[in-house]
Amino acid sequence: NDPIASQPFTVFSDGNRLPHTIFPTVPSLFFDRWEEGKPAELHSWMSLVGPLVRGGAGGGAALGERAPELSRWLEDGSLPCVYVAFGTLVTMNRELAARLCEALVPEAHLREPASARWRVLWALRRELWDFLPETVRSSELLRLEDFVPQVEVLHSEKVCMMVSHHGQNSTTECLVAGKPMVGLPFFSDQHHWARIVQRAGAGVRVSKHSPAETIREAIDE
């Protein structure tokens, strides 16, 4: 619902009223296709301004206003929280869901919750909840939500990192919040974003086909 984050739009300068078009950040537009990581030559009329992220997120205070019960859950826990979200377009099957569950809430943590080093907040479409094993869904270490106010969640001091598909919005919001990422890109520019984030030292890239142990090690890292 945010026009800045979802589609190009045109604004006018205060001086000469010349139109300027602002585009969502698609990395392939701004990098040399022949040399990895090298910026492309831009036209004189193009300016890179960085991510356009809704401002005013006050961390825990803002989250407490928008989602008070979720805010209390985060604040009441003694463990840091791993936030997981794969956007609205990504789909997954039961096999991938099972691997992610084993990485996020491993069997050892289910048997002995006191041994866990993190809790998990997973924003997942409700129709996919049944893909998660019941033992994981009912665990005190996991909280499932079909929607969360992501910017406010990322600014919570309790959230230590994000497991992401590396969509443009999630990636830039996470970077602005200063939270590291474990990236599981699925398609399109998500792979490019994952490479950029890993190259910058802001996250670790794994594959959606990676075994649970590899994903868990990336989270630990």
What integer pLDDT is reported at residue 39 of this predicted model? Answer: 64
CB-CB contact of 32 with 39 (8 Å): yes
CA distance 185 to 29: 18
Model confidence at 4, in pLDDT bands (50, 70, 90)?
A: very low
Specify the higher pLDDT residue, 86 or 87.
86
CATH class of 60-220: alpha beta
Model confidence at 13, in pLDDT bands (50, 70, 90)?
A: very low
The string of DSSP codes covering 161-219 is EEEE---HHHHHHHHHHT--EEE---STTHHHHHHHHHHTTSEEE--TTS-HHHHHHHH
Residue in 134, 129, 44, 48 with CA at minimum distance from that of residue 92:
129
Please report how many Cα atoms fall inside a 13 Å half-sphere around the Cα of residue 97, on the Cβ side.
18
Give the start-to-end residue ranges of the domains of the chain.
1-49, 60-220
Reply yes or no on whether the pLDDT at 115 is more than 80: yes
Structure tokens at 42: 């831009």
